[in-house]
């Protein structure tokens, strides 16, 4: 059965990648191949997509979807992290790309089907790994990290104002029994955050985000991928990134500003140390956002921001 999730900002992705027939495009978050299908339409019959994903379950779904649409000949599927784009292209004997694309959101497959504890709305095992090859998982973090370390990742990666109190509650829970399920974690968070502060979204959202980022080294991989992508793009090639929270978006925005030659050092620093050199131009002065119609059709697109950069 075809399981093609709704690709966020579908038209905008194709527009900002500025695709043409014969282009070679790297899609580092293949997922269910929703965006890949749209990219193929723009670059066929002579173009190629390198579709990478750490999640083997997502790759299986993408392969089935592409096969059902007769598009497998246009895609080279790779089970790897997008941060390894240089090595991936080397193995495939591809020298340069015309486009580099990432959709950093969790796929519907991961949230609804994987059973790996990505959703705070389901009671599942504490895992949150994109790949089974990753050694660190959510259960280990919650049962072995110190109170100080838990509080730190909740604040840094979740921007959670109640990070210290939630960390203390987890430690207290651990004194009684091992923390094993997402349901247990959600109940701890609900009991810890004062009721009058729970009105803005689900109270566990920020904590789940923080743990997932820690498990998968998401921010470090994003920084590495952005740096590597520039080195494998042809002049005129574009980088297009969709992010879903402020931590990712700030990294993308700052990196593009650095690539455009703008110094991103702290204002009080006497000498520039960021190494900013003009290597291209920012295409999206303000991030592109989904329309009201798209948000109605696909509520998960609500927080999406798209930024694009072109190499000179």
Q: How far apart are CA 69 and CA 64, in angstroms?
A: 9
Share of the chain above pLDDT 70, in %: 96
Over residues 281-306, the mean pLDDT reads 95
Band of pLDDT at residue 223, cut at 50, 70 and 90? very high
Tokens of 295: 């948000």
Q: Which class for 196: exposed (0-12), middle (13-18), buried (19 or more C-beta within 10 A)? A: exposed
Tokens of 109: 């497959």
Over residues 102-112, the mean pLDDT reads 80
pTM: 0.93
Q: How far apart are CA 18 and CA 13, in angstroms?
A: 9
Share of the chain above pLDDT 90, in %: 84
Over residues 33-49, the mean pLDDT reads 97
pLDDT at 271 over 90: no
pLDDT at 5: 66
Band of pLDDT at residue 109, cut at 50, 70 and 90? low
Identical fold at 10-110+219-311 and 114-216?
no
Residue entry with tokens 């927080």: 303
Over residues 185-202, the mean pLDDT reads 87
Strand locations in the chain (E):
24-27, 48-52, 75-78, 97-103, 233-243, 280-282, 305-311
Q: Which one is the CATH code of 114-216: 3.40.190.80, 3.40.50.970, 1.10.150.170, 1.20.1300.10?
A: 1.10.150.170
pLDDT at 107: 74
- Reported as a single tens digit per residue, the pLDDT across 141-150 is 999 999 999 9
Tokens of 96: 């340069």
- Reported as a single tens digit per residue, the pLDDT across 234-257 is 999 999 999 999 999 999 999 999
Q: Which class for 308: exposed (0-12), middle (13-18), buried (19 or more C-beta within 10 A)? A: buried
Nearest to 170 by CA among 180, 161, 159, 160: 180
pLDDT at 1: 43
pLDDT at 21 over 70: yes
Q: How far apart are CA 86 and CA 229, in angstroms?
A: 8
| Three-state SS at 229 | helix
Domain covering 10-110+219-311 in this structure, CATH number: 3.40.50.150
pLDDT at 264: 78
Over residues 223-238, the mean pLDDT reads 97
Cβ atoms of 300 and 105 within 8 Å: the answer is: yes
Cβ atoms of 306 and 13 within 8 Å: the answer is: yes
Over residues 199-223, the mean pLDDT reads 93
Domain boundaries, the chain: 10-110+219-311, 114-216
pLDDT at 263 over 50: yes
Nearest to 14 by CA among 50, 38, 46: 38
pLDDT at 208 over 60: yes
């Amino acid at each position: 059965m075809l399981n093609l999730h709704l690709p966020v900002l579908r038209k905008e992705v194709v527009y900002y990648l500025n695709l043409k027939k014969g282009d070679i495009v790297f899609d580092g978050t293949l997922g269910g191949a929703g965006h890949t299908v749209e990219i193929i339409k723009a670059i066929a019959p002579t173009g190629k997509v390198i579709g990478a994903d750490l999640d083997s379950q997502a790759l299986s779904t993408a392969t089935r979807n592409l096969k059902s649409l007769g598009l497998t000949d246009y895609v080279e599927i790779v089970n790897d992290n997008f941060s390894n784009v240089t090595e991936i292209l080397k193995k495939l004997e591809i020298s340069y790309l015309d486009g580099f694309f990432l959709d950093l959101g969790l796929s519907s497959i991961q949230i609804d089907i994987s059973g790996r504890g990505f959703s705070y709305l389901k009671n599942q095992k504490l895992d949150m790994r994109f790949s089974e090859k990753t050694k660190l998982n959510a259960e280990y973090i919650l049962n072995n990290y110190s109170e100080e370390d838990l509080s730190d990742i909740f604040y840094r990666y979740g921007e959670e104002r109640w990070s210290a109190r939630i960390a203390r509650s987890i430690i207290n829970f651990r004194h009684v029994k091992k923390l094993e399920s997402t349901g247990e974690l959600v109940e701890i968070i609900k009991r810890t955050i004062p009721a009058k502060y729970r009105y803005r979204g689900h109270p566990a959202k920020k904590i789940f985000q923080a743990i997932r980022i820690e498990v998968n080294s998401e921010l470090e991989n994003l920084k590495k991928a952005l740096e590597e992508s520039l080195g494998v793009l042809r002049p005129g090639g574009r980088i297009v990134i969709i992010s879903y929270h402020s931590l990712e978006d700030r990294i993308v925005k700052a990196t593009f500003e650095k690539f455009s030659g703008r110094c991103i050092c702290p204002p009080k620093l006497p000498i520039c140390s960021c190494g900013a050199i003009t290597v291209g131009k920012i295409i999206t002065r303000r991030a592109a956002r989904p329309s009201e119609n798209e948000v109605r059709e696909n509520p998960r697109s609500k927080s999406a921001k798209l930024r694009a950069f072109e190499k000179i």
